[in-house]
Amino acid sequence: MSSTIKSTVNKKDFLDDLGSLLAIKSTKDAAAAKEGAPFGPGPLEALEKMLELGRRDGFRTKNLQGYAGYIEYGPEDAEDYIAVLGHVDVVPATGKWVHDPFSAHVENGTLYARGAIDDKGPTMAAYYALKSLKDSGLPVKNRIRLVIGTDEESGCACLVKYNELEPMSLFGFAPDAEFPLIFAEKGRIHARIDLPAKEETAPVHLSAFYSGERINMVPDHAYAVLTGTESEKWLDAARNSLKEKQIAFSVEKQADGLKLTVKGKSAHGSEPAGGVNAAFLLAEVLDDVPFSQSEKVFIAFLAETLNKDFAGKRLNIAFHDDISGELTVNAGLVRYDAAKGGSVSLDIRCPIKAPLAEISEKLTSSVEKLGLSIGELGTEKPLYVDPQHRGVQILKKVYEEHTGEKDVKLLTSGGGTYAQYLDAGVAFGACMPDYPYTGHQVDEHVRVDDLLLASAIYADAMYALGNLDK
């Protein structure tokens, strides 16, 4: 195995710095947003922590209005720079964790915490790679810039702002996925499907339905509140059905009705089949309840149209290509309020060749036929970089030299990374091929040695790309 840059990573120092970063609850808090902290106090604190490390170790740093920041090394007057794009915001730590999700816990060489692999661990690995490159004293002609984003999990407004304020990089990579390298990422359609509130009589009413915290997560819990003269009868039926299916649930009497809560299993929204959507579990056992007509439409949309159809066939939007495979649909957010109506927010990952406009039109037509409407709809183009691009081939070679593997197969992904915001860039690690990716899941974890190996790989990648010609 070959290495140009001698890694100077001290394991204890690495874990101490990473532990302090993981301890910050850096989930987006729109209600607490303000000038200088556009995504709330947590993401800003995590950004400032990284910039503090950069200043401590003698790098150039800059805070870009709280949206993002960077840590930079290399000749200050260099015309071009290489971007390494990490993020320090995290999704909520829902579900029951064995250990505190915001306190780094290492057991048998495995690190457990929210952000361990998505993306605080890999971002710290990239930072320590930059330290190793600096310590080596080897020359680079391009600047190497570790860009720290703070809104990757909720729309990437941080990178939109970054690109408004800073010039485009020569090439770059996001340490926010899997090795060996991802050269193509699916496009996205984010759609909110709406149902207006209506006053209708029925023996049972759906007073509320709630599931999900982020559109790009499979919801691991859901609850519904039932009211009306027959609510207890139908709640008993739902309870019996849940027992038969061995689904965890709880029932609570409230002033406004009977609350039924069920548990599912979280997963990344790009792989919805890998989780158990709690909204679907709940809707299934409520599908026969004699709700009002509009409430039936809402429940049926979950239980009959979306349930177990991750390819979007019932919505008439299924698509497949030879580069990135099947279209996927995740119902990440479900909301219903008797006074306000309901909504279901879909995270649709579309293959590289998928016609986004045509799929959007088909989706609109399908939901309207069901008595629903499109409240919001946005699209993001896919990422595709020619596998023969010089930057891609450099990263491939560096990975092969460090692992001893030969002619590795490059990957495509349903997940989206900051690489989509580069003119030329890819996702590069940090999850190793022989280890499950646990981002967005309960008890998120990564092997510590994998992060250290990733750091060594990134150091050589930075050096090679730092001498990349235009």
Position 2 scores a pLDDT of: 59
Residues 207, 24: Cα–Cα separation, whole Å: 36
pLDDT digits (tens), the chain, 470 positions: 557 898 889 999 999 999 999 999 999 999 999 999 999 999 999 999 999 999 999 999 999 999 999 999 999 999 999 999 999 999 999 889 999 999 999 999 999 999 999 999 999 999 999 999 999 999 999 999 999 999 999 889 999 999 999 999 999 999 999 999 999 999 999 999 999 999 999 999 999 999 999 999 999 999 999 999 999 999 999 999 999 999 999 999 998 899 999 999 999 999 999 999 999 999 999 999 999 999 999 999 999 999 999 999 999 999 999 999 999 999 999 999 999 999 999 999 999 999 999 999 999 999 999 999 999 999 999 999 999 999 999 999 999 999 999 999 999 999 889 999 999 999 999 999 999 999 999 999 999 999 999 999 999 999 999 999 98
Model confidence, pTM? 0.87
The set of catalytic residues is: 89, 152
Which architecture, in CATH terms, is 188-380?
Answer: 2-Layer Sandwich (3.30)
Indicate the CATH number for domain 11-186+383-466. 3.40.630.10
Residues 331, 31: Cα–Cα separation, whole Å: 24
pLDDT tens digits along 61-84: 999 999 999 999 999 999 999 999
Position 49 scores a pLDDT of: 98
Position 350 scores a pLDDT of: 97
Domain positions in the chain are: 11-186+383-466, 188-380
